[in-house]
Amino acid sequence: MKINVENITRYSSGCPTQWDGETTNGGKLYIRYRWGCLTVDLNDKEIFNSKVGDEFDGVMSDEDMKKVTGSVINWI
């Protein structure tokens, strides 16, 4: 089952790139890209982890993050 995200805010554009968000049912979302790994936490529990870059990569665009996380998140 995919998570429906109501809003998302990018609060770091450097390394690591980080986002905070909220689901449509009030869940807290935290997304981070560091060391080439993109993780998604929902209510402080990791629900997604994907190695998408090299070990020194930590910067990702919003568009790329949404593509990579599309298997677990509906971006409303």
pLDDT at residue 20, as a whole number: 96
User: How confident is residue 7, by pLDDT bands cut at 50, 70 and 90?
Assistant: very high
Classify residue 70: in a domain, yes or no: no
| Structure-token match 């995200």, residue found | 5
pLDDT at residue 51, as a whole number: 96
Classify residue 7: in a domain, yes or no: yes
Task: Tell me the H-state helices in the chain.
Answer: 62-68
Threshold 0.95, pTM exceeds: no
More confident residue, 1 or 19: 19
Classify residue 52: in a domain, yes or no: yes
Domain that holds residue 38: 3-63
CA dihedral 43, 74, 14, 41 (to 10 degrees): 20
Per-residue pLDDT for 13 more than 80? no
Angstrom distance (rounded) from CA 76 to CA 57: 28
If one counts the domains in the chain, the total is: 1
Classify residue 19: in a domain, yes or no: yes
